[in-house]
Amino acid sequence: MSAEPVADFGLIGLAVMGQNLILNINDHGFTVCAFNRTVSKVDDFLQNEAKGTNIVGAQSVEEFVSKLKRPRKIMLLVKAGSAVDKFIETLLPYLEEGDIIIDGGNSHYPDTQRRYEYLTSKKIMFVGCGVSGGEEGARYGPSLMPGGNPDAWPHLKPIFQAIAAKAPDG
């Protein structure tokens, strides 16, 4: 199932942090596509917390990727460990050179380094990004700590700087 690319950013993982981060990104004028392994959570989110927003959802990984503008910017907010690797492998057949995968979970740094090297060999940019601040931070201004392929930053900067926590003096 293909769709016209409409979303500036994609996020996989609709637990509270994922939902709040999506709402934050939407509030800053970016269109987000949401996906979850349990696809009923996508419908629930769109019909409740995201109702009346520009957030779109997908019922499959293929549909999710097809809704993203290039270079695709995909954040994984799933449990650290094997779940991240499984989602990366699920995404890869649908991605193209220059797309970006962001691991927003609390992955152990050797895993981040391994994923960076693996995805670089496939011409996919990888960024490990700590997201701190809990549910409220995700919703209104998290501390974001990205590290990885420096070529990804120009594509992530407008979104990350818009949604991140700001010091009182700006």
pLDDT digits (tens, 9 = 90+) for 112-130: 999 999 999 999 999 999 9
* Average pLDDT, rounded, for the chain: 96
Q: How far is CA 80 from the centre of its chain?
A: 14
How many percent of the chain have pLDDT more than 90?
94
Q: Which residues lie closer than 8 Å to 125 by C-beta, 6 or more apart? A: 71, 98, 99, 100, 101, 119, 148, 149, 151, 152
pLDDT at position 1 over 90: no
Name the band, by pLDDT with cuts 50, 70 and 90, for residue 136. very high
Residue 82 pLDDT greater than 60, yes or no: yes
CA distances from 128 to 49, 57, 114 (A): 27, 24, 11
pLDDT at 4: 79
In this predicted model, what pLDDT tens digit does every residue of 19-71 receive, in sequence order? 999 999 999 999 999 999 999 999 999 999 999 999 999 999 999 999 999 99
Task: Give residue 24's pLDDT.
Answer: 98
| pLDDT band at 95; cut points 50, 70, 90 | very high
Pairwise CA distance, residues 138 & 13, whole Å: 13
pLDDT at 156 over 60: yes
**Cα distance between residue 61 and residue 128, in whole Å:** 21
- pLDDT recorded at residue 169: 83
Question: Helix (H, G, I), strand (E, B), or coil: what is residue 133?
Answer: coil
Tell me if 43 sits within 8 A of 107, measured CB to CB: no
Residues composing the chain? 170
pLDDT of 119: 98
- In what helix (H) or strand (E) does residue 130 lie, and over which residues does it extend? strand 125-132
The rounded distance, in Å, linking the Cα atoms of 26 and 147 is 23
- pLDDT score, position 2: 52
For 93, the 3-state DSSP assignment is helix
pLDDT of residue 3: 56
Alpha-carbon gap, residue 42 to 149, rounded angstroms: 30
